[in-house]
């Protein structure tokens, strides 16, 4: 799925915290770009998780440079990575 709405991101983070029995994630990645991504909504979710102390850092996987730049432009902190899949 390519679901990147605020509600889904917040719920996924909460599920991960519960599953691994912790109260904080060091890093949260959006696994792949959503063609219908609303950068403002993703940024709102990231900022809520950051301000609550539940996630320290954020990144993405397999975003194009323009997708990465769009999301980064909505955030007051830096995305720490764009993890790219490189398969032979």
Tens-digit pLDDT profile for the chain (88 aa)? 678 999 999 999 999 999 999 999 999 999 888 888 999 999 999 999 999 999 999 999 999 999 999 999 999 999 999 999 888 7
- Residue 78 resides in a domain: yes
- Residue 51 resides in a domain: yes
The per-residue pLDDT for 87 is 81
The per-residue pLDDT for 1 is 61
- Residue 88 resides in a domain: no
Q: Distance between terminal CA atoms of the chain?
A: 24
Domain count, the chain: 1
The per-residue pLDDT for 43 is 98
pTM for this predicted structure: 0.92
- Residue 1 resides in a domain: no
- By residue range, what is the domain housing residue 62? 6-14+23-83
- Residue 36 resides in a domain: yes
Q: Give the integer Cα–Cα distance in Å for 5 and 81.
A: 20
């Amino acid at each position: 799925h390519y679901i990147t709405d605020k509600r889904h991101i917040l719920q996924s983070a909460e599920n991960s915290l519960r599953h691994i029995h912790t109260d904080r994630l060091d890093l949260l990645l959006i696994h792949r770009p959503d063609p219908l991504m609303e950068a403002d909504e993703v940024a709102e979710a990231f900022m809520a998780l950051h301000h609550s102390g539940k996630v320290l850092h954020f990144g993405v996987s397999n975003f194009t440079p323009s997708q990465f730049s769009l999301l980064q432009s909505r955030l007051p902190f830096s995305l720490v990575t764009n993890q790219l899949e490189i398969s032979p």
